[in-house]
Amino acid sequence: MTHAVVLIEAERAAMATLGGVLADVEGVAEAYSVTGEWDFVAIVRVRRHEELAGVVAGNIGQLPGVVRTQTMVAFEAFSRHDLEALFSVGQ
């Protein structure tokens, strides 16, 4: 499984609707509107690394209102459960 964080800059006119559209894109597990330099963050999860380009460049990048994206591919995924298990070793 490949995980990626996609930062998205949007046109002002798309701000009200783009979050819901992002959430409906296949491969997008979660979408958030955020403050700061970027307008949205999408968490992408795909089975194979080769599918990532299709989701980001083929789907997200082509949505009306998307100005630009920046993608960060995760090396490892940690959940709260994983971290709690790691720190409870030997207790």
Taking 70 as the threshold, does the pLDDT of residue 81 lie above it?
no
Mean pLDDT of the chain: 91
Would you tell me which CATH number, out of the four given (3.40.1440.10, 3.30.70.920, 2.60.120.650, 3.30.300.20), belongs to the domain 2-87?
3.30.70.920
Neighbours of 10 (CB within 10 A): 22
Q: Where are the domains of the chain?
A: 2-87
> Tell me, what's the pLDDT at 77?
79
- The two tokens of residue 11 are 């046109």
| Residue 51 token pair | 């599918």
pLDDT at residue 39, as a whole number: 98
Q: In sequence order, which residues have a C-beta less than 8 Å from that of residue 74 and are 6 or more positions away?
A: 2, 3, 4, 5
- The pLDDT, as a whole number, for residue 86 is 54
